[in-house]
Amino acid sequence: MGLWAYKINYDSRAAAQRVKELENSILSANKQFKILNAEWAHLNRPDRLRKLAEYYFFELRLTPINPDDFISFSDIYWGESSENESTALVDNRLTGIEHEK
């Protein structure tokens, strides 16, 4: 009976230690999650992104969005493309990319 009590005592202490380790791990993960969320919010501030877009405007070949850049759902080409034709060549209205044919 004494051996059984000793084993139960030892197992319960090990389980309690494991629970403490898991709680510490969860707290650490939550802290890191909050830090990453704060960093993400900082990096995605509109004023910061606007400055970056202006700075790299020509290097990234950015163009302002115009209403003409959008097409209606009915204008999407749903047909089968030929096997020799690349996806970008299927419909130049969608990609706006000019290719030599």
pLDDT digits (tens, 9 = 90+) for 37-65: 999 999 999 999 999 988 998 888 877 78
- Average pLDDT score over the chain: 82
Range with lowest mean pLDDT among 15-24, 28-37, 65-74, 77-86: 77-86
Give the Å distances, CA to CA, from 23 to 27, 35, 53, 79: 6, 18, 43, 56
Give the Cα separation of 59 and 53 in Å (integer): 10
Provide the pLDDT for residue 90: 46
